A and B are shown apart, each in its own frame.
Chain A
Amino acid sequence: MGGFSILEHTADTGVQSWGASLEEALAWLAKGMFSLLADPDTVEARQSVAVSVSARDSESMAVDWLNELLYRHEAEGFLLKDCQVILSAPGRLEAECQGEFLDPARHQILTVIKAATYHQVQVTAENNQWRIQVVLDV
């Protein structure tokens, strides 16, 4: 069973997620980040968006995955509710993201996240549990 938690950092905020597979942990990581952007209860899964990311290792993958979603969020107004992640090849992530596009009447943007950073990024696997930690610049 996966999940996420929000980490505190003097100037920034972090997201930690976990899951039975790297894919599951990555999916929870995205949900964790979007919980900072908008109240998840106000977001509905109305549309599906495909996202793909290439990265050279698992830490970069975690960071780039969040940065790709942030780009989608700011450039298109996408708010993520849920997602399914597949690591389709080494260094390749394919995801189906369900959510909707920003409607200022229903959604309040809680914070603006500038980017996910490589600072103290961690991807670990222990006892069949994958854990990811990413620090966000807010």
Chain B
Amino acid sequence: MAWKEVLRNLGENRWELPQSYKEGMRVSGIVFADEALLELIAEDQCLEQVANVAFLPGIVGHSLAMPDIHWGYGFPIGGVAATDVDQGGVVSPGGVGFDINCGVRLLRTGLTAAEVRPQLRQLVTTLFREVPTGLGGRGARLKLDTAEIDQVLRQGAGWAVKQGYGIPEDLDVTEEGGCMASADPDAVGERPKTRGGPQLGTVGSGNHFLEVQAVDAILDPAAAGVMGINQPGQVVVLIHCGSRGLGHQVCTDYLKMVEAASDRYGIKLPDRQLAAVPVNSPEGQSYLAAMQAAANFAWANRQCLAHWTRLVFEQVFGRSWQELGMRQVYDVSHNMAKLEEHVVEGRKMNLCVHRKGATRAFPAGRPELPERYRHIGQPVLIPGDMGRYSFLAVAGAKALERSFGSTCHGAGRAKSRAGAKKLLKGHDLQKELEEQGIIAMAHSWSSLAEEAPLAYKDVADVMRAADEAGLSRPVARLRPMGVIKGNKVSRMMYGRTAVRPYADRNGRRPSRAGPVSGLPVRQGFRPPPPSLLRPLTPVRPAAGQRWTGPRKSAARQRSGRRTATAAPAPSGRRATVRCQPHPAGCDGCLLGPHPGPATPKHRAARALCRG
């Protein structure tokens, strides 16, 4: 195996990817895995991505890969990288990913599997129907206006608690108290709010889920006791979701901005998806403020879902959720960049720690931990696939020195979605899971098949590797009983018919046909002048292949909306189009002469003109 020739065994499940592996790496890489996992890891290109992350300016320590690493875009999933903020260290939106603050929350109950089993079908059906779209009768769907969305972005889970979705104790056992204090809703811009606002209180699709589980084995009774996990058979609820469309759009918008800005900072990286800017730059600060706001949205989302879960339990079991003992164990984030203080080679440093598909795991004693867990270390939630098990773990003693206090976040995919579906063709998955005592519900066969157990690595292998590396140790193993995958599609979530576009404080709404709105600008940041914009050219144009000026589509010609087009570029030269002065109000734009005043669309076109 070629990778074994490249990686150097450091012992205790640590493998070094030397700095010499690729020219330009600023530090070496370290993969936490055993040999069996490494065989799987080496099958795709994620080790190459570990090497690429090592190019980030200001990176300290190593480019790290958790045991569940798999191929992502830019960063590998399961990648951790810390940069020195005071030495020009960068922040990379791609190092957080699109699903900002995707994470997991665990609720315990005082119920046992034997008590739940007779009503399991009713429970799962009710959860499936009620939770992801808001609890019809009682909770009412969330319909938020502008100001309320900003409150969510500012206050995170605290906003939901204020609305009655939960209790203050929930915040105490949520990473960061469920709120990043320096979040700035204005940095988010209007598009993420329009896209994601209506999705608050929804699970989302893909690998997001809500699972009813039973404690299968207690591996560390002392730590389990502190977390309120007392006996095998105890029923718990695990919720996995993120910041939905709002986070996706924040990442999309900032990636575009950062991708353009990184050139100006002279940052060259092997993958454009890694694009980064210094943390201490206007763009870096703006991104962090927006990312934190999206993180708050995710915490509010999990808070709502967790509370609605409690209400469904009340409905099904006929007792209040307090009587049912439904307390929150913990809530962790696994897609985030955080400013943290760490000691590296004996020196205190302010770091920007990117965890992409990796969980923060702070050992006992760290001041960030809630008092009740400070003596055992941070609880870590590691979901596995829906057929086998998940783990409740606790941060390992060596996590801080070895991985900036980080560990794995799940099982990690072993098969692509299409690959899983191909293998499962003809299988009645729901029935097969039911034979194992698991009731699974999804809106389509394919969304269930994509997440089938065989598509994932065995999370027990990942857990063992993380344990042996000293990153986190298992406390209890949890077995699924009821699984809910994804959302019912409602008009509510897809705007338009039910939801008006988000309006900003001045009552302005995004224009339906308008150009991409500008991102908010902080500290005097200005977008690059048009002269910095490169013209549209292919990567490897064949000889004689040139962009030959604008074309008129049949539809446009018919509609007569355009009366003229710009002249085609002279052959053999790079295509540029000159603005033409126009007497009738428009002061010359790329769309050619037309009646009426210049519209924003035309002004935007003009801004890009190189003439």
Q: Measuring CB to CB, which residues of chain A are less than 8 angstroms from any residue of chain B? A: 6, 8-13, 21-23, 48-61, 64, 67-68, 70-71, 73-78, 84-92, 96, 101-102, 104, 107-112, 114-115, 117-128, 130, 135, 137-138
Of the candidates A61, A86, A101, the one whose C-beta lies within 8 Å of that of B551 is A86
- Complex Cα spacing A55 to B609, Å: 12
Tell me if B513 and A138 are in contact (CB < 8 A): no
Residues of B within 8 A of A137 (CB): 73, 97-98, 248
Contacting B538 at CB < 8 Å: which of A73, A76, A119, A130?
A: A130
Q: Interface range on chain B: under 10, 10 to 19, 20 to 34, or 35 or more?
A: 35 or more
Does B359 make an interface contact (CB < 8 A)? Answer: no
Measured between alpha carbons, how far is A114 from B495 in the docked complex, in Å? 16
Question: In the assembled complex, how far is the CB of residue B302 from the closest CB belonging to chain A, in whole angstroms?
Answer: 17
Complex interface bits, B60-86 against A, C-beta within 8 A gives 1, otherwise 0: 000000000011111001000000000
Q: Which of B536, B537, B539, B610 has the most CB of A within 10 A?
A: B536
Chain A residues within an 8 Å CB radius of B489? 102, 104, 107-109
| Residues from chain B with Cβ under 8 Å of A92 in the complex | 590, 605, 608
5 contacts between A and B (CB under 8 A): A67-B256, A74-B245, A89-B550, A89-B566, A89-B609
Binding site for A on B (CB under 8 A): 44, 70-74, 77, 94, 97-99, 191, 194-196, 204-206, 245, 248-249, 251-252, 255-256, 259-260, 271-273, 275, 413-419, 443-444, 446-447, 489-491, 494-497, 501, 512-516, 533-542, 545, 547, 550-556, 565-566, 575-577, 590-591, 601, 604-605, 608-610
B536 touches A55 (CB 8 A): yes
> Residues of B contacting A50 with CB < 8 Å?
513
Query: What are the 9 tightest A-B residue pairs by CB atom distance, in nearest-first order?
Result: A119-B73, A90-B535, A77-B494, A118-B272, A84-B553, A119-B273, A114-B98, A117-B73, A89-B590
| Contact present for A13 and B547 (CB under 8 Å) | no
Chain B residues closer than 8 Å to A8, beta-carbon distance: 416-419
For A67, list chain B residues within 8 Å (CB). Answer: 252, 256
Interchain CA distance A6-B539 in the complex, whole Å: 21
Which residue of chain A has its CB nearest to the CB of B418?
A8
A10 touches B194 (CB 8 A): no
Q: Which residue of the partner chain B has the closest CB to A112?
A: B205
State whether A89 touches B577 (Cβ < 8 A): yes
Query: Once the chains bind, are B72 and A11 in contact (CB under 8 Å)?
Result: yes
Are A118's CB and B74's CB within 8 A?
Answer: yes
Asked if A54 contacts B272 (CB within 8 A), the reply is: no
Given contacts A71-B195, A76-B495, contact A54 B550 (CB under 8 A): no
Do A115 and B98 touch across chains, with their CB atoms under 8 A apart? yes
| B335 shortest CB reach to chain A, Å | 11
List the B side residues contacting A49 at CB < 8 Å.
512-513
Q: A13-B416, A76-B495, A128-B542 are in contact. List 20 more A-B contacts (CB 8 A).
A: A10-B413, A22-B547, A52-B513, A56-B534, A58-B537, A59-B272, A87-B547, A87-B551, A88-B550, A89-B566, A89-B577, A90-B608, A102-B491, A104-B490, A109-B205, A109-B489, A112-B205, A117-B273, A118-B73, A119-B72
Q: Which residues from B are CB-within-8-Å of A126?
A: 540, 542
Measured between beta carbons, the chain B residues less than 8 angstroms from A11 are 70-72, 77, 413, 416
**Residues of A close to B249: CB separation below 8 A:** 71
Q: How far is the CA of A54 from the CA of B295 in the complex (A)?
A: 28
| A74-B495, A89-B566, A90-B608 known; A115-B248 Cβ under 8 A | yes
A104 in contact with B491 (CB, 8 Å)? yes
Q: Which residues of B contact A86 (CB under 8 A)?
A: 550-553, 556
CB contact under 8 A between A114 and B248, given known A74-B195, A90-B610: yes
Report whether A125 and B545 are in contact in the complex, using a CB–CB cutoff of 8 Å. yes
B214 to chain A, nearest CB (A): 29
The answer to whether B536 and A90 touch across the interface, beta carbons within 8 angstroms, is: yes
CB-based contact B44/A56 at 8 Å: no
Identify which of A6, A107, A108, A118 contacts B255 (C-beta below 8 A).
A118
Q: Which residues of B contact A110 (CB under 8 A)?
A: 444, 446-447
**A22 vs B72: C-alpha distance in the bound complex, in angstroms?**
27
Across-interface contacts of A122 in B (CB, < 8 A) = 539
Q: Is the CB of A119 within 8 A of B74?
A: yes
CB pair A23 B551 closer than 8 Å: yes
Q: Are A57 and B417 in contact (CB under 8 A)?
A: no
Query: How long is the Cα–Cα vector from A112 to B272 in the complex, in angstroms?
Result: 23
Determine how close the nearest CB of chain A comes to the CB of B333; give it in whole angstroms: 16
Of chain B, the residue at the smallest CB distance from A84 is B553
A70 to B47: give the CA distance in the assembly, Å. Answer: 30
- Provide the residues of chain B in CB contact with A128, threshold 8 Å: 542, 545
Chain B residues contacting A58 (CB-CB under 8 Å) are 536-539
CB distance from B497 to the nearest CB of A (A): 7
C-alpha spacing A123/B545, complex, angstroms = 13
Q: What's the least CB distance linking A113 to chain B, in Å?
A: 9
Query: How far, in angstroms, from A4 to B74 measured CA to CA in the complex?
Result: 24
Contact pick for B541, options A21, A77, A107, A125, CB 8 Å: A125
By a CB distance below 8 angstroms, the chain A residues around B601 are 52
Using Cβ atoms and an 8 Å threshold, which residues of chain A touch B538? 22, 58, 123-125, 130
